Amino acid sequence: MIQLNNTSNSGSLSCDVLVVGAGVLGLWVARHAALAGAKVIICEKREVGAGASGGFLGALMPHMPDGGWQPKKQMQYEALCDLPEVVASLESDTGGDCGFRRCGRLVPMTHHKMPENAERRVSGAAQFWLDTAGKQAFVYENIGVSDVKDDGWMTPAIASFGATYDDFSARINPRSYLAALKTFAEEHCQLIEGAEIVDLNPGEKFVILADDSKIHAERTVVTSGYEAYPMLQPLMGAMNEGKSIGKGVKGQAVLVQYDHDDTMPIVYHDRSYVVPHKGNIVAIGSTSQSDWSGKANEFDEDNMGFYKVAMELVPALADAPIIGKWAGVRPRNTLNGRGTDPFYEAVPGADGLYAVIGGFKITLGVGHEITRRLVASMLS
């Protein structure tokens, strides 16, 4: 790995693919491109995982299988189906353990209309959660009040109208996942931390760094999360009728120490996620704060409603000590009515420039797939 806080010696660097940003998306672009035989340089403004990828939560939850089956839902479904094999390959290449488990998801029903909604999702899962032979691969279940288990995890007291459970949801340890991707990048690419790119020079085949040095690249891929928006706005604003192409939404999470046998599901209620991880830790989050006044990575002690909900949801965690706190800003795309869809395309009118910006709250689960599609197209 190259570490540059002063990048004055980088002017002679050149590559086939330059990746801007070393979060999960940037590192996946690098992995796919390197495996395809490209010479890859990764430039990270701070350090690997400094942005939204470096949190605690790691909940990999599919879009609900009702309300219309869209291409975004199909893409996410395929990505989550493939993830165990993808992670196993990464772990084999690097010796890492990404902490992946198909743990399932349990959601209490607290309103009388929720069982009716659940039945639609049961039918949707039977129709859309299929294997390659067309048979149902994963289930979505509507659990009656009397069948909600009192097993020391989610309290039945909160499930006034029963609960739902799906066996498709999963979890991954974001920091272990990043560590494995970083190991691959260090072995197969040039990873430069502390190198800020300030000018993309679209079409000119080089970028300019903060110290005015250059890196020459046949293709440049911007993957720097919400910080990519001001860099790409002048080039992509026309795609969105001149409006902003995206914004940053701040999230927070905590990590608690809790002895468990790692067999429990994710529990979700009222925007609070409780995610059991290996090593007797549990991640709890998160918030969605649009007005964060420049305090991107500053944890707000007054904004912990998610933690209070989690204590009501899983009372067993009430005495679990908090061992870590995280705050960061996630990208939320607003391109062409895409809402929260990921963006992974060539930048229009900018030869050799591409962008990969994750979908809101789903990036960890789809990152390997959207980058695979982009790199395949880019190098074809």
Per-residue model confidence (pLDDT) at position 61: 94
Taking all residues of the chain, what is their mean pLDDT, rounded to a whole number? 93
Least confident of 106-110, 136-140, 147-151, 356-360: 356-360
Task: Inform me whether the pLDDT recorded for 7 exceeds 50.
Answer: no
Residue 328 lies in a domain: no
Give the model's confidence band at 68: pLDDT under 50 very low, under 70 low, under 90 confident, else very high: confident
Question: For 203, left (φ over 0), alpha (ψ -120 to 50), or beta?
Answer: left
Per-residue model confidence (pLDDT) at position 336: 61
Task: Inform me whether the pLDDT recorded for 9 exceeds 90.
Answer: no
CB-based contacts of 348: which residues, under 8 Å, 6+ apart?
A: 235, 236, 238, 239
Run of H or E residues at 365: helix 363-378
Angle between helices 363-378 and 24-35 (to 10 degrees): 40
Residue 340 lies in a domain: yes
Residue type for position 11: G
Task: Inform me whether the pLDDT recorded for 3 exceeds 80.
Answer: no
Residue 309 lies in a domain: no
CATH number of residue 353's parent domain: 3.50.50.60
Average pLDDT over residues 192-196: 97
Task: Inform me whether the pLDDT recorded for 5 exceeds 70.
Answer: no
CA–CA separation, 264 and 90 (whole Å) = 25
Percentage of the chain modeled with pLDDT above 70: 96
Run of H or E residues at 75: helix 71-94
CB count, 10 Å around CB of 26?
A: 29
CA–CA separation, 212 and 191 (whole Å) = 19
Percentage of the chain modeled with pLDDT above 90: 87
Average pLDDT over residues 298-306: 94
Q: What's the structural domain count of the chain? A: 1
> Does the pTM of the predicted model rise above 0.75?
yes
Task: Inform me whether the pLDDT recorded for 8 exceeds 70.
Answer: no
Residue 323 lies in a domain: no
Strand pairing partners for 282? 256, 276
Q: Which CA distances in Å does 95 have to 50, 174, 181, 284, 364?
A: 23, 16, 11, 28, 20
Task: Inform me whether the pLDDT recorded for 171 exceeds 90.
Answer: yes
256 by Cβ neighbours in 10 Å (0-12 / 13-18 / 19+) ranks as buried
* DSSP code string of 278-314: TTTEEEEE---BS--TT-TT---TT--HHHHHHHHH-
Contact status, residue 326 vs residue 275, Cβ threshold 8 Å = no
Per-residue model confidence (pLDDT) at position 10: 43
Please write the tens of the pLDDT for every residue from 70-125. 888 999 999 999 999 999 999 999 999 999 999 999 999 999 999 999 999 999 99
CA–CA separation, 269 and 121 (whole Å) = 17
Residue 260 lies in a domain: no
Please write the tens of the pLDDT for every residue from 201-215. 988 999 999 999 999
Please write the tens of the pLDDT for every residue from 20-32. 999 999 999 999 9
Task: Inform me whether the pLDDT recorded for 11 exceeds 70.
Answer: no
Task: Inform me whether the pLDDT recorded for 159 exceeds 90.
Answer: yes
Residue 224 lies in a domain: yes
Residue type for position 181: L
The residue segments making up the domain with residue 234 are 2-103+170-244+335-378
Residue 33 lies in a domain: yes
Residue type for position 124: G
Average pLDDT over residues 259-284: 97
Least confident of 197-206, 248-257, 285-294: 285-294
Run of H or E residues at 375: helix 363-378
Residue 233 lies in a domain: yes
Task: Inform me whether the pLDDT recorded for 366 exceeds 70.
Answer: yes
